[in-house]
Amino acid sequence: MKINAKLVASFGTVLVTTLVVFGRISYSTFTESAHMASDKIISLQSSEIIYHTTKSLRKEVGNIEQQLSLYMQVNACSLGSDKESKDLLEGFAKHDPLFRSISLSPRRGNLPPPEFQTWMDEFEANHFEPFLTRRGDDLLLLWPTQTPQGAAFFVITLDPAYFAAKLSSSMTNSGYLNVSGAAIVLTSHGKPLLEPVLQDPQKTLARDILTGVDIDALAEHVEDKGEYFIYRPADTLFDADLTMVVPKKFNQDNLVKLKNRILAAMLIVAWISVWIMLVIAYRISSPIRKLSKITKDIIEFNYTTEMEIPPSNDEIGELAENFENMRQKIKTLVTEDPLTQVYNRRFVMHLFDLAVLKASASNTPLCCIMMDIDFFKKVNDTYGHQGGDAVLMAVGKVLKEISRDYDTPARYGGEEFLCLLPETTLPDAVAIAERIRMAVKGLTVVFGEIELRCTVSLGVAEYVVGRAESTDEIIRDADNALYQAKENGRDQVVVCRQEPNAVVCPAGEEGATV
């Protein structure tokens, strides 16, 4: 049987067991409390908000009715025509932050038909019910009342922010929802009266929660909308529809039992799974260990280790074949710079250390060249990084063409290159550096419709026993020579020579070999 079949059989058993246990526990827990509790809590919350808000407003407006009626009886004033009665109403508005303005009217003409046509018809038929609506930027409450002169109605302009705060306070004080994120959407005939009222002002209602939801079509039951519940009770708030939006996380406490049962079930399943996986792991561990050994050799830049896994028709054999192909590709990826196609810094430093050991043991010459593209930052600033990349690729191509088979040209970093020259004397290294300088100087880089030209500065250093006999010391000397080449005016080769008492990087004429 192939490994794939073994895995399917073993883990399929674990999966079926997990689904049976998890499904049974989830079903019993949810049927016991979760959904029913959600419906009841949201329904109670909505009813209490409507009750408290209605009770509060009736109390406040009722106080105004009593004082106005008493004033009109004492002064025998005409309805709505007495200046002092108007001042009295405005005084009520000024002393209550909920009211922006209050007026009293017996006439239909004070309100624009047909906006309140239905309500006015009911009002004139002695059907007394307050009506909450919006006109422009104003939130209006039309409140029918009785005066000594007959039926009339208040036109009360409410402060939307204060009214929203009253609704938010009702949500917070009800005690049913102990989680921030709940919101109220207040509408009249499908049109919003307020921005969504948030239980916690620091939280924001997800913009897409009500997208595509027909509030008028919501039934009197809690509807599941992803991470939220939405509920619209049958009761209204002064003829306005109240819709509750509640995040599901409010009911997390009711799901603690489910979590504990799931954890217990998973521990049982995990115990069984461990023994099944141990048997499978034992059978596939041997080839994996062999692959691990090859991986360690790759990390050490050793790509000569042969694959010791015998050919087979199962997945292990296929894995071994694919791994060998991957090993060959990794060799390219970890040794080459992807942009310039020369070696990268990591690999050349590894080869440099090996070359220094060989030069020390066999007493053979060793040199290196540090090279930097002149004014490269100006190229990037003028033509962008794409222009800079074009120059880097062209220079990399030159290095590959000029280098000998046993040389190692590499991108050291940014616009800086290094050439490792094993078994090369200093005069030969200088000659190679000069050839590179001339080749780059004569190079034309085509970038779109633009032709770019560049020059390079080069520093040459050699392995010297007692002075520069480590990788860092040789690179340091080459780097010092490169710095001197730039100080001398760029586009030249400078050699770091070993004098009796010092290391000297002399100045030279442009293009001269020093």
pLDDT tens track for 98-144: 788 887 776 554 555 454 555 566 555 555 678 788 777 788 888 77
What are 105's two structure tokens? 């009217």
In a domain? residue 322: no
- The DSSP H or E segment spanning 39 is helix 35-75
pLDDT recorded at residue 497 = 74
Task: Output the CA torsion sign for 217, 219, 220, 225.
Answer: negative
pLDDT tens, residue by residue, 256-298:
666 667 667 767 876 787 677 667 766 676 777 777 777 777 7
User: Out of 118-122, 147-151, 455-459, which region has the weakest mean confidence (pLDDT)?
Assistant: 118-122
- Which of residues 368 and 85 earns the better pLDDT score? 368
Whether residue 342 sits in one domain with residue 279: no
Instruction: Say if pTM beats, i.e. exceeds, 0.85.
Output: no
Tell which of 251, 271, 286 closes a domain: 286
State the Cα–Cα distance between residues 46 and 58, nearest whole angstrom. 18
State the Cα–Cα distance between residues 427 and 460, nearest whole angstrom. 10
State the Cα–Cα distance between residues 141 and 159, nearest whole angstrom. 11
Whether residue 244 sits in one domain with residue 133: yes
pLDDT recorded at residue 130 = 82
Maximum average pLDDT range among 101-115, 135-149, 188-202, 375-389: 375-389
State the Cα–Cα distance between residues 154 and 125, nearest whole angstrom. 17
State the Cα–Cα distance between residues 479 and 9, nearest whole angstrom. 63
- Count of helix runs (H) and strand runs (E) in the chain: 11, 19
Whether residue 406 sits in one domain with residue 485: yes
**Which residues pair with residue 419 across a beta bridge?**
369, 409
Residue 468 has pLDDT above 90, yes or no: no
Tell which of 221, 255, 286 closes a domain: 286
Which amino acid is located at 93 in the chain? A
pLDDT recorded at residue 499 = 57
In a domain? residue 395: yes
Whether residue 267 sits in one domain with residue 362: no
- The DSSP H or E segment spanning 401 is helix 376-402
| N-terminal to C-terminal alpha carbon distance within the chain | 73
Whether residue 141 sits in one domain with residue 3: yes
In a domain? residue 4: yes
Number of domains in the chain: 2
How far, rounded to the nearest angstrom, does the alpha carbon of residue 228 sit from its chain's CA centroid? 22
Whether residue 372 sits in one domain with residue 238: no
In a domain? residue 198: yes
Maximum average pLDDT range among 41-45, 49-53, 178-182, 453-457: 453-457
Residue 372 has pLDDT above 70, yes or no: yes
Which amino acid is located at 401 in the chain? E
State the Cα–Cα distance between residues 200 and 171, nearest whole angstrom. 10
| Cβ atoms of 483 and 459 closer than 8 Å | yes
State the Cα–Cα distance between residues 426 and 42, nearest whole angstrom. 87
Positions marked active-site: 415
**% of the chain residues with pLDDT over 70:** 70
Mean pLDDT over each residue of the chain, to the nearest integer: 77
Instruction: Give 368's pLDDT tier (boundaries 50, 70, 90).
Output: very high
Whether residue 191 sits in one domain with residue 46: yes
pLDDT recorded at residue 388 = 94
The total number of residues shown for the chain amounts to 514
Tell which of 244, 267, 286 closes a domain: 286
Whether residue 280 sits in one domain with residue 357: no
> 401: domain CATH number?
3.30.70.270
State the Cα–Cα distance between residues 396 and 390, nearest whole angstrom. 10
Whether residue 469 sits in one domain with residue 376: yes
Distances 500 to 121, 133, 466 between C-alpha atoms, Å:
115, 100, 12
Could you say which DSSP state residue 250 is in?
Answer: G
Calculate mean pLDDT across residues 167-174.
76
Distances 371 to 300, 343, 367, 402, 418 between C-alpha atoms, Å:
27, 14, 13, 14, 6
Helix segments in 152-255, DSSP class H: 160-174
In a domain? residue 366: yes
Whether residue 132 sits in one domain with residue 273: yes
pLDDT tens, residue by residue, 409-434:
999 999 999 999 999 999 999 999 99
In a domain? residue 514: no
In a domain? residue 299: no
Whether residue 226 sits in one domain with residue 102: yes
In a domain? residue 75: yes
Query: Quick one: the chain helix, strand, coil %, rounded to 5?
Result: 50, 20, 30
pLDDT recorded at residue 282 = 66
Domain range enclosing 483: 336-504
| Cβ atoms of 477 and 461 closer than 8 Å | yes
pLDDT recorded at residue 409 = 95
Instruction: Give the gyration radius of the chain's Cα atoms.
Output: 43
| Cβ atoms of 88 and 81 closer than 8 Å | no
Whether residue 241 sits in one domain with residue 117: yes
Peptide bond into 114 cis (omega under 30): yes
pLDDT recorded at residue 334 = 78
DSSP codes, 118-158: HHHHHHHTT----EEEEETTEEEEEEEEEETTEEEEEEEEE
Give the Cβ contact number of residue 177 at 10 Å.
20
